[in-house]
Structure 1
Amino acid sequence: MSIETVDTLVVGAGQAGVAMSEHLGKQGVSHIVLERNRIAENWRTARWDSLVANGPAWHDRFPGMTFSDVGDDAFAPKERVADYFVDYAKHISAPIRCGVEVKAVKRNSEGPRFRVETSDGIYKANNIVAATGPFQVPVFPAIVPQTEGVEQIHSHAYRNPGQLREGAVLVVGAGSSGTQIADELLRSGRRVYLSVGPHHRPPRRYRGKDFVWWLGVLGIWDLKVPAPNTEHVTIAVSGADGGKTVDFRQLAERGMTLLGMAKSYINGTLQFADDLKDNITLGDRNYLDLLDQADEYARKHGLDLPEEPSARDLSKDPACVSDPILSLNLKKNGVTSIIWATGYSFDFKWLHLDAFDAKGRPVHERGVSRVPGLFFLGLPWLSRRASSFIWGVWHDAAYLAEQIADREEPEQRIRLR
């Protein structure tokens, strides 16, 4: 069995791994990036067919390279995003090895800190960067038994309306993924039910600027911790159809039935919490608050941006919000498919190290773990709100590369061999 020694081993070649490679290279740290599939694989095979980036091309990229064929204010298709990271890896000559699965990382008894068991042999490294991102294991709530005869998939496995059985569809979860999938299904002619939980609902554009620009100048991307009671609040935003503000009332006006959060399943009937109105109100409050902050910023800094008073006009609540449905018999209402857009959990079982809390979450400070030489990158709120996004992960990688480089003198670093 082959054994290779390297100073720093990066696990994962998505946006986090590519960013980490760039900054390690700038710091002169020898490293290898291992990827079990292809570069940015999740963008290609773990997303639905019509997905585009949720941020405009000027924002959803790294500083060192623009999209050559996507306008600055346009939203890049998912395959183009994947190609961007492949091109970027070539641009920086990243030492990425694809098709290599990391099976276990353990403490090394002597020499470099870690012994890494992979499908391509053994590696020894002083530093490990876990750059596998936030979308690791789909969360699939065990509410409706699989024996009930209703097709159930996670949004991770959804591709297009044609893959689903004929009939109505229930989408559970109204973040970016659930909302866009429900909208696509509605446009395809399906009858759609959408279970809406607590969410933030920013304007796509306001006063001529995309919401990602406003989050930047207002310092919201740089928030260090989420506001109280918002740790599990999703964001409802879309780059589809050229980018538009998500409006649940308009979705209902077009024929979608909105529901509260799914609670339980009894004798063929799903029960929903009586919280739909509160959840819609929370989204409205977040939306209007961002408009207020943007107006104040424009006033304070004397920005010559067109005013947009109509942005504050909210439609009347549809019947499904004012008189919510609290139970839904799936068979009687023709529901043949359920899509669970309910997020992801971590999977670090390959890290055989004391780096996690009782719930399996990494214990770290800005990505620096409590295990010397182990680092995390690409996780939500790693250092700020932007950490799991393309722009944010690039900056977090710069910080971690500095930490790795500063911890060892150049003559102590392991050279590739």
Structure 2
Amino acid sequence: MPDETIDTLVIGGGQAGLTMSHRLKQRGIAHLVLERQRIAERWRSERWDGLMFQFPNWSVRLPDFAFQHNDPDGFSPTAAIIRFIEDYARFVAPPIRCGVAVTRLHTDGNGGFIAETVDGSIAANNVVVATGPYQRPLRPDLLRDADIFQVHASAYKNPAQLPDGAVLVVGAGASGAQIAEELARAGRRVFLSIGQHSRLPRRYRGRDLIGRLAEMGIDQTPVEQRGASRLLPVITGAYGGHTVDFRRFAAEGVTLLGRVSAASDGVIAIAPDLAESIANGDAYYETFLAMVDDFIAARGLDCPDDPAARARLPDPACLTAPLRTLDLRTEGVNAVVWATGYGLDLDWIDVPVLDARGEPRHRRGISEVPGLYFLGLQWLSRMKSSFLSGVGDDAADLADHIAARR
């Protein structure tokens, strides 16, 4: 017999879980939220000291709750976002238990679920998994035997954490690009390994990217129209927020590399794909500028031209004659930062809803098993599903579905 019973169990106490609680309370649905550590734990322990949130302050919001700030077009440090989520938790006042990890979720044989936890078992008619998309740091095993300092971006804190010498940053998504820039500004010699990416302007023709996405309705693009690419745009809120331009990185001293493909005895093999990756990123960028131009022209909007956005620096030597190998010892590289992304960690779900890659099968957060839901994943229903400002819409849809089941 389970130790307790609840109508709806929400697993995860970050912004997704808190928002789900808010929507369930609005509909009078009894529920419980379980958080394995602290509210907004990953914001606290898996972000680096100098991280600035990638979204401008005016766009930061959760359902019925505004973000307090003095600079709408500025970007806030992680500490401010943590305070915002803490304030939201006080506003929602969710029935939450922290420090309670769910070790197994399974069905009870009667259409309900049993969550096994460190404190006992809980029976629920509905379960919402709101543990987010950044659960398991992905780190290649290429330098397993190398005598060199290595850290994943989730555990990187600041340049002083790394030993003296040059640094190899592997991965040029939003985290890798920001960390590489921070290290370069701290006077480090930086090698940046770049793979396929989608690059977008921080601002264009008088408006921030996030405003443009909302104005054009792109952030509402449904998952069915996403296309094959799963790449998130490379953007930054650091240093006032600016467009990430890898040619500019090179002009400021960063050595660009292609993908790291192999390693042996401290020598990294580099794939011959740097020029292609940069060209694809440029094409993505130019396509977006053209879309904005067409939108402005079609609606007769009064937006200033922005020729600087299309200016391109000359190709640096590291792009025209790219390195094919990198000898870490010879180049004085004493640290590697793996900005290689995250995977899901849902092995504790003992219900047949995961595909061969361990990802949940669902349609807009509603799984194939009645009563089991997912919230806070990238592209759950639309582009903005994993945005702070977007999770509330998905939570409302799931709460309506749960209410209808009753």
TM-score range, shorter chain: over 0.9
Aligned partners of 1:23, 1:403: CA distance in 2, in Å? Answer: 11
Report what 2:16 is aligned to.
16
8 A contact 1:53–1:60 mirrored in 2: no
Superposed counterparts of 1:257-336, under 5 Å: 257-336=255-334
CA shift for structure 1 position 202? 0.8
Aligned partners of 1:33, 1:70: CA distance in 2, in Å? Answer: 32
Aligned partners of 1:298, 1:28: CA distance in 2, in Å? Answer: 44
Report what 1:125 is aligned to.
124
Report what 1:67 is aligned to.
67
Listed one character per residue, the Cα deviations across residues 86-128 of structure 1 (whole Å, up to 9, x for unaligned) are: 1112112222221111111111145x71111112222111000
Number of corresponding residues: 405
Report what 2:136 is aligned to.
137
Listed one character per residue, the Cα deviations across residues 321-358 of structure 1 (whole Å, up to 9, x for unaligned) are: 11111111111001111111011111112211111112
Aligned partners of 2:287, 2:185: CA distance in 1, in Å? Answer: 30
Report what 1:76 is aligned to.
76
Kindly provide the amino acid, as one letter, of the partner of residue 156 in structure 2: Y
TM, length-normalised to structure 2:
0.96
8 A contact 1:225–1:381 mirrored in 2: no
> Which stretch of the first structure deviates more once superposed, 17-26 or 63-72?
63-72
Aligned partners of 2:189, 2:228: CA distance in 1, in Å? Answer: 33
| 1:399 paired residue among 366, 375, 397 | 397
8 A contact 1:104–1:118 mirrored in 2: yes
Report what 2:44 is aligned to.
44
8 A contact 2:60–2:388 mirrored in 1: yes
Kindly provide the amino acid, as one letter, of the partner of residue 149 in structure 2: E
Secondary structure of 1:390's match? coil
Aligned partners of 1:228, 1:365: CA distance in 2, in Å? Answer: 16
8 A contact 2:60–2:66 mirrored in 1: no
CA shift for structure 1 position 362? 0.5
Secondary structure of 1:311's match? helix
Secondary structure of 1:140's match? coil
CA shift for structure 1 position 271? 0.8
CA shift for structure 1 position 291? 1.2
Kindly provide the amino acid, as one letter, of the partner of residue 306 in structure 1: P
Task: Give the % identical residues.
Answer: 47
Q: Which sections of structure 1, spanning at least 5 residues, go unmatched?
A: 409-417
TM, length-normalised to structure 1:
0.94
Aligned partners of 1:105, 1:266: CA distance in 2, in Å? Answer: 42
Report what 2:5 is aligned to.
5
| 2:379 paired residue among 378, 381, 401 | 381
Q: Which sections of structure 2, spanning at least 5 residues, go unmatched?
A: none
Report what 1:369 is aligned to.
367
Report what 1:56 is aligned to.
56
Aligned partners of 1:174, 1:31: CA distance in 2, in Å? Answer: 40
Aligned partners of 2:374, 2:201: CA distance in 1, in Å? Answer: 31
Alpha-carbon distance change, 156 to 248 in structure 1, aligned in 2, over 3 angstroms: same
Secondary structure of 1:271's match? strand
8 A contact 2:56–2:73 mirrored in 1: yes
Listed one character per residue, the Cα deviations across residues 365-416 of structure 1 (whole Å, up to 9, x for unaligned) are: 11111111100111122111222221222211111111111111xxxxxxxx
Kindly provide the amino acid, as one letter, of the partner of residue 59 in structure 1: S
Aligned partners of 2:328, 2:103: CA distance in 1, in Å? Answer: 42
Kindly provide the amino acid, as one letter, of the partner of residue 186 in structure 1: A
Aligned partners of 2:318, 2:301: CA distance in 1, in Å? Answer: 40
Aligned partners of 1:225, 1:343: CA distance in 2, in Å? Answer: 24
> Which stretch of the first structure deviates more once superposed, 325-334 or 388-397?
388-397
8 A contact 1:41–1:82 mirrored in 2: no
Aligned partners of 1:341, 1:399: CA distance in 2, in Å? Answer: 33
Q: Please identify runs of 4+ aligned residues in structure 1 that moved more than 4 A.
A: 225-229
